[in-house]
Chains A and B, each alone.
With several copies, the nearest count.
Chain A
């Protein structure tokens, strides 16, 4: 079992990772629209510890925390996001296209497209006859894509070991969830695909861990697919550069006040598992480590232009 203190540790790393990414935007080291998940750390950290290397995880455009939760090398991720040849994909992917085949981790910039991919992973477990679990993380916007429906239906028919974790941050860019979804929650739709469905407070890392862990366990035991909906809020614009005028200042400040890191820190303090100073110190330590990682990544080279034509096809042997 992962403790709250450990989960808090994940959250701190996740937050600092995102803050490090932000540094690359004004400097144009990252020359595309960066999506951070600041405010959604309790979900990423809630997932941590349940997945084995042979479990798979597919993620989205807002994927950094999921990579960290899956155990993907953070430096390699950061280097990919900073467009370095030392990156997870040698700089060919960019921040929306992270692949770690050893950990069965992948992402896509196409909303909803990861869910069928995860069903493929789940089908592989079925074909092998082992107990690997496939996890797909998507945003609330993805649940209205055709891909989501086709994938979940297939998983439901075959009772596949699939967990779909929906990060419901209430917005898909400027479109609020209630104007996009016919139902007030995602979880209540689960029975349409013979899935188990549950909804949790995604700012509460232990609530997420409980729900996610139970779903993974169910899938592993052959209990079939689940949808875990975790409510949350993204603290920044959809991408860096988004004027974010579609959300009221009132809403934003009210929701930012519910910082999952603070919530977890408070719980640790309340339970006597850490003092405020210790919390600060932990954050400071990670901040320093992250700054070092960032500095080191920044010193790396961009991929060599002459390599740009590689990897379209496999080299002819």
Chain B
């Protein structure tokens, strides 16, 4: 184990390695430079690579994302930071009408090797600073979408995202960024050197036989804890960390459900028209027969301000345990 890095440090380490490896990589965003990111995930980059490659910007997300398009057309590989994913609404146009589509619209002639690095997840900041929104990006063709749950993946998926010739939305979880490797029972051994975690591959975090629980990002840890807890009651849950939303690793989930026949999707994003229904549907389309399935996600409600309300709508260990029990108890 050794290095007890927090996730922000893993991200910064990945970016440092990528910037050393490829001098076309630039990092652009608010507070990414001198401050090293509001969560520290770009710390050290400005010092190491200077003003020309690490650019602090005004609060101008449309400029940030639009510049990414121009830079990509010049052969650069921009990593663009949108501080909180909630802010994507001011610049989604550049993201889905240009970054996501220019490769297609140009008949493959233009590439958009762009990473949009952003932070999602609930840490008590109310409706405008707590969203996940991977379901929103995933609906829009041309974007890959990843959301790591642990230190190892945070570093490896960032390397893979920067290396990708396709645009990648990289969604950190604010609640995890300051967690240290030792807080994790999985993905806690982070090599110093460069490595990648392949985009589009889920990981079985815990094998089990009674139920397949698929989730990602900030809810992997409480899902894992819930599974461990219920193991003592004889409920044996297979926990899958999806890691990527696009491409979605349906095969791994389908294979698991072949065995367990039960599927629970836990999603910190909104319930409807998002990840959970897509995954259930795709597993069924894969021809797997499911005895029962369930979705546990934010019940189509903005994230409320007060902690008492927030707890009522955001999946946590105890609510996940409840959801597991409910599915397993079904005939």
Q: Residues of A at under 8 Å CB distance from B?
A: 31-33, 56, 58, 80, 83-85, 87-97, 99-101, 104, 106, 108-113, 115-124, 126-127, 134, 141-142, 144-147, 150-151, 153-154, 157, 172-175, 179-181, 245-246, 302-314
Interface size on B, residues (CB 8 A): 76
A92 B104 Cβ-Cβ under 8 A: yes
Q: Given the complex of chains A and B, what is the CA–CA distance between A173 and B37 in angstroms?
A: 10
How long is the Cα–Cα vector from A32 to B126 in the complex, in angstroms?
8
Asked whether B312 lies within 8 Å of A145 as measured between CB atoms, the reply is: no
**Residues of B contacting A174 in the complex (Cβ-Cβ under 8 angstroms):** 31, 33-35, 56
Q: A110 touching B93 by the CB < 8 A rule? A: yes
A89 to B102, CA, bound (A): 10
B312 & A56 in contact (Cβ 8 Å cutoff)? no
Given contacts A116-B65, A144-B60, A313-B144, contact A99 B165 (CB under 8 A): no
Tell whether, in the assembled complex, residue A92 and residue B73 are in contact, meaning their CB atoms are under 8 Å apart. Answer: no
B residues less than 8 Å from A312 (CB atoms): 103-104, 141-142, 300-302
Q: 5 A-B pairs, CB-CB below 8 angstroms?
A: A32-B125, A97-B101, A120-B74, A144-B59, A145-B90
Within 8 Å of chain A (Cβ to Cβ): is B304?
Answer: yes
Contacts A120-B70, A180-B58, A303-B304 aside, 9 further interface pairs with beta carbons under 8 A come to A33-B125, A87-B306, A88-B107, A108-B128, A109-B126, A110-B87, A127-B53, A154-B58, A173-B38
Choose one: B86, B106, B305; the contact of A101 (CB below 8 Å): B106
C-alpha spacing A121/B68, complex, angstroms: 9
Flag if A91 contacts B309 (CB, 8 Å): yes
- What's the Cα separation between A83 and B102 when bound, in Å? 17
B153 at the binding interface (Cβ < 8 Å): no
Whether a CB of chain A sits under 8 angstroms from the CB of B52 is: yes
B6 to chain A, nearest CB (A): 15
B284: interface (CB < 8 Å): no
Interface assignment of B69: CB less than 8 Å from any CB of chain A: yes
Q: Which 8 A-B pairs have the closest CB atoms?
A: A120-B70, A116-B66, A94-B305, A90-B107, A91-B306, A174-B35, A120-B67, A124-B74
Tell me which residues across on chain B come within 8 A of A58, comparing CB atoms. 70
Q: Is the CB of B62 within 8 A of A83?
A: no
Q: Name the residue on A nearest B75 (C-beta).
A: A124
Residues in A whose Cβ lies below 8 Å from that of B63:
116, 119, 147, 150-151, 153-154
* A-contact 0/1 string along B294-331, CB 8 Å cutoff: 00000111101111111111000000000000000000
